[in-house]
A and B are shown apart, each in its own frame.
Chain A
Amino acid sequence: MASNQFSVASPPTDAISALKFSPDPDSTRIVVSSWDKNVYLYDLRDENGAVGEGKLLQKFEHRAPVLDVCFGATEDEIYTAGLDWDVKKIDVASSTQTVLSSHEAGVRSVVFSKEHNLVISASWDSTLHVHPTNDPATAPAIIPLPSKPFSMSLTATKLVVAMASRALHIYDLKALAMLTAQSEGTGPNKIEIEPWQRRESSLKFMTRSVACMPDDAGYASSSIEGRVAVEWFDPSAESQARKYAFKCHRQTADDVDVVYPVNALAFHPVHGTFASGGGDGVVALWDGIAKRRIRQYQKYPSSVAAVDFSGNGKYLAIAISPGFEDGKDDVVEGTVKIFVRELGETEAKGKGAK
């Protein structure tokens, strides 16, 4: 409806599990993983470089639904995590898929650290696999987790893993990289590494998503009970006193507060504000420092599965798909969509504390 928003052509045919923009500031590429067993690579620009409909560049079929995806060191490198227990690397140029490692259960998330050249995957088998990318011969390090991981996010130096039972681990990437490098050998090597910090989620319910601040200061987490918490890494009492949580993605109907899960969080790379996407189909922008909502977008026709900002912060991509929360809806044609919103100069900028 609004002119500054368009929906991407040829969306996945089943629910979307993840959506990521290329971290390259000049790029308008989006990679999307779906339950229809495919990974989709889109570019918002057409041949002439104009941003319009967006077009599907390539589609990579997997053996099982793909749960997470991320870009690697370049735009031609994509890492995927799927229900087939594998962590894969896709080389876009040659369209080849390489299995980096296999977990013993579905792989929930995968992230790539540019600074340390690590691909880290988290699986429901309650392990992390750390793959050094500069040396593909090295076997991945396996780090046991106390619970099933649900979401993962990283900064230049930290890795935040949110798990079941409200557990949350913060790892120091440098230590991870060193440990992985040390463990030479061919077989998978288990490493017992103490996380830099162990935390309990400040939210009472299951963690749905975590996202780290671009300035490496802290992170936001969301739960299935319509709430978002903002916390800081700094363990000092002063910084910890700054953490807070707020309610969102709720609707009052007949005196009953209907609470939706907050499925997705994403920080703006420039302004440091963040977007939340909920099961209610609403996307809201927040200023985590000023503790204010910047704006809320119109309700989308189905649950928001993923949100992400482009590398330069000019675009906000929103993936919607139904049945994400009850897990049994049949996917109706046309309910899975990817919207891209072109943000105004100050649209995602915080207003400053009042």
Chain B
Amino acid sequence: MGKKRRGPTLDELLARPWCYYCERDFDDLKILISHQKAKHFKCERCGRRLNTAGGLSVHMSQVHKEQLSAVDNALPNRSSLDVEIFGMEGVPEDIIQSHNQRVATQFQQAEAERQAVTGNPPPGTGVGGQPAKKPKLESVSDLKKRLAEHKAKKAEARTGGSSGEATPVGAGQTPTMGGFGQPAPAAAAAAAPAAAPTTTSQFSYPQPYGTASPYPQTASPVYPNFSPGQPQFPPTAQYPPAGYSPQPFQGTPAASFGTTPSATHTPPQTAGAFPPRSGSLPMPPGLPQRPAVAAPPVNAYQMQQMHMGQAPALNGGETTQAPDTISTSVDDLISGAAKQAETTADKPKSEEKPKKDKSKAIRLVYSDNETSPEEKMAQLARYAFVPEQKGETVLEEVPASVVTGTTREMDTVEDAADR
């Protein structure tokens, strides 16, 4: 069922574009790019915004005859000009890794703090918030046991010659249920390695899985991990619980439904023995549309990797694999979005120019068209010149000026300027 959203999930946080130079993160790529242009790629001489540090360097040397040595406003170790950055493109892999690691750690900390403050169970936990630690310990062994059972069942079913998954689902309802539950926390844990200790516990206690409606439960934790690109949609929208409640499963012939769970719940089914088959499966009739989960962001290989790497991950093995693939897929998405942003960013630019020409709002800094600034200044009291002093310094050779000098003795320069 629907869960209350408590703010961004880890995947949402990881999917946020961030600035290589200052590690700030942004809502979307467009904002990141405009941030970079304004903060890091802006020419301090003329204010022109360039797209990259290299572009700025060329601009500085050609236009201003100056050499750009470092990127402005960058973190001390990130100010190099050697890395060509545009949006999220060009960020070195190791930097992405460490950034993701940091985000994950922060997320986990915040999560832990919030749980400590509110006393709430972690998101995704069932209604009866249980202490986290106990089920976790229980579940690891429990899950392993069930996974083994499930694998055995699978192998049995295959050797038994029955058609794929249909038989195990139909026949071994209870054990399969357990099996469904297994990979889910595993995937979640792998995708969020840092968050593993806390998050693993959420999904793993056996009671809900064995009983009422296991599908929504498994679905929701799995979901966000497979769709880092569009992490916003609530799982409930995609998985109307009615369609997946246990009743139809048991009631309907196995043949018609056998494919369905495998289509939507490919991960659990294939985790043990089978290669992923989601691509080859037909759209089942009479069921809600298959969510576009498995297809776009994670390819079959990544999917498989995520699932293959799960069992060891659960046991505390190496967990970096999944984030790795996720971050690369995030990267793909971002570079795609970057291109989009580029094309869309070009539009307003071209629109802006004619606008500038159109707007005839002009403010003259000096608007007096009759009197020059110098004349105005000459009228100021502090510059006023009184010609009376003239006689003292003037040289005797110019009689004319003496004559005129007497006539204008009362005058000040102000009058002269007004003439």
Q: Does B362 contact A (CB under 8 A)?
A: yes
| Residue ID in chain B nearest A83 by CB atoms | B385
B359 interface residue (CB < 8 Å to A): yes
Contact A252 B400 (CB under 8 A): no
Q: Are B378 and A106 neighbours in the complex by a CB distance under 8 Å?
A: yes
A108 touches B374 (CB 8 A): yes
Contacts of B44 in A (CB 8 A): 298
- Does B393 belong to the interface (CB within 8 Å)? yes
A256 to B387, CA, bound (A): 44
In the complex, identify which listed stretch (B182-190, B311-319, B401-409) lies at the interface while the others stay far away.
Answer: B401-409
Contact with B along A295-337 (1 / 0, CB 8 A): 1111000000000000000000000000111111000000000
A101 within 8 A of B: yes
B-binding segment of A61-69, A174-182, A237-245: A61-69
Residues 81-99 (chain A) with a chain B CB within 8 angstroms: 83-86, 98-99
Please report the C-alpha to C-alpha distance between residue A297 and residue B45 in the assembled complex, in whole angstroms: 7
**Contact residues in B for A150 (Cβ distance below 8 Å):** 372
Contact of B400 among A188, A205, A324 (CB under 8 A): A188
The interface residues of chain B lying within 8 Å CB-to-CB of A17 are 374
Stretch at the interface among B63-71, B137-145, B196-204, B211-219: B63-71
Which residue of the partner chain, among A4, A124, A186, A261, contacts B366 with CB atoms under 8 Å?
Answer: A261
Beta-carbon contacts of A249-263 to B below 8 Å, as 1s and 0s?
Answer: 000100111111100
Return chain B residues, CB-CB under 8 Å to A15: 377
What distance in Å separates the Cβ of B375 from its nearest Cβ neighbour in chain A? Answer: 7
Indicate if B237 sits at the interface (CB-CB under 8 A). Answer: no
List the one stretch of B50-58, B249-257, B299-307, B411-419 in contact with chain A. Answer: B411-419
Q: Contact string, B383-402, partner A, CB cutoff 8 A, digits 1/0?
A: 10101011001110011110
A194, B215: Cα distance in complex, Å: 102
User: Quick check: B416 and A327 within 8 Å, CB to CB?
Assistant: no
CB distance from B324 to the nearest CB of A (A): 45
Chain B residue at minimal CB-CB distance from A85? B387
User: For residues 1 through 44 of chain A, which have their beta carbon under 8 Å from a beta carbon of chain B?
Assistant: 2, 4, 15, 17, 35
Contact A64 B383 (CB under 8 A): yes
Q: Which residues of B contact A252 (CB under 8 A)?
A: 356
In contact, A257 and B363 (Cβ under 8 angstroms): yes
Min Cβ gap A131→B in Å is: 11
Per the bound structure, the CA–CA distance linking A326 and B356 in Å amounts to 26
**Contact assessment for B404 and A104 in the assembled complex, using a CB-CB cutoff below 8 Å:** yes
Q: How far is the CB of B19 from chain A (nearest CB, A)?
A: 26
Chain B contacts with A in 138-167, Cβ cutoff 8 A? none
CB-defined contacts of A259 to chain B, threshold 8 Å: 362-365
Task: Scan B27-63; emit 1 where CB is below 8 A from any A CB, else 0.
Answer: 0000000000000000011100000000000000001
The contact string, 1 if C-beta is below 8 Å from chain B, for chain A 208-232, is 1000000000000000110000000
How far does the Cβ of B410 sit from chain A's closest Cβ, in whole Å?
14
* A295 vs B62: C-alpha distance when bound (angstroms): 9
Task: Assess whether B8 is interfacial by the CB under 8 Å rule.
Answer: no
Contact A257 B405 (CB under 8 A): no
Which residues of chain A come closer than 8 Å to B129, judged between CB atoms? none
Nearest residue in B to A104 (C-beta to C-beta)?
Answer: B404
Is there a chain B Cβ closer than 8 Å to A347's Cβ?
yes
Q: Smallest CB–CB gap between B248 and chain A, Å? A: 63
User: Does B373 touch A at the CB level, under 8 Å?
Assistant: yes
User: How many whole Å from A118's CB to the nearest CB in chain B?
Assistant: 18
A102 proximal to B (CB < 8 A): yes
Residues of A within 8 A of B393 (CB): 63
Cα distance A84–B373 in the bound complex, in angstroms: 17
Question: Cα distance A258–B366 when bound, in Å?
Answer: 10
Binding site for B on A (CB under 8 A): 2, 4, 15, 17, 35, 63-65, 67, 83-86, 98-99, 101-102, 104-106, 108, 124-125, 139, 148, 150, 164, 186-188, 205-206, 208, 224-225, 252, 255-261, 279-280, 295-298, 323-328, 344, 347
Provide a sorted-by-A list of 19 A–B residue pairs whose CB atoms are within 8 angstroms.
A83-B385, A85-B416, A99-B395, A102-B404, A104-B404, A104-B408, A106-B385, A106-B417, A124-B375, A139-B400, A187-B400, A224-B369, A256-B361, A257-B361, A261-B366, A279-B365, A296-B63, A298-B46, A298-B64
9 residue pairs, one from A and one from B, having the closest CB atoms: A327-B376, A64-B385, A102-B401, A105-B416, A325-B366, A256-B361, A327-B377, A298-B45, A257-B362
Instruction: Given contact pairs A17-B374, A325-B366, enumerate 9 new A-B contacts (beta carbons under 8 Å).
Output: A99-B401, A104-B408, A187-B399, A188-B400, A258-B363, A295-B64, A296-B63, A298-B64, A328-B376
B: which residues have CB within 8 A of A?
44-46, 63-66, 356, 359-370, 372-380, 383, 385, 387, 389-390, 393-395, 398-401, 404-405, 408, 413, 416-417, 419
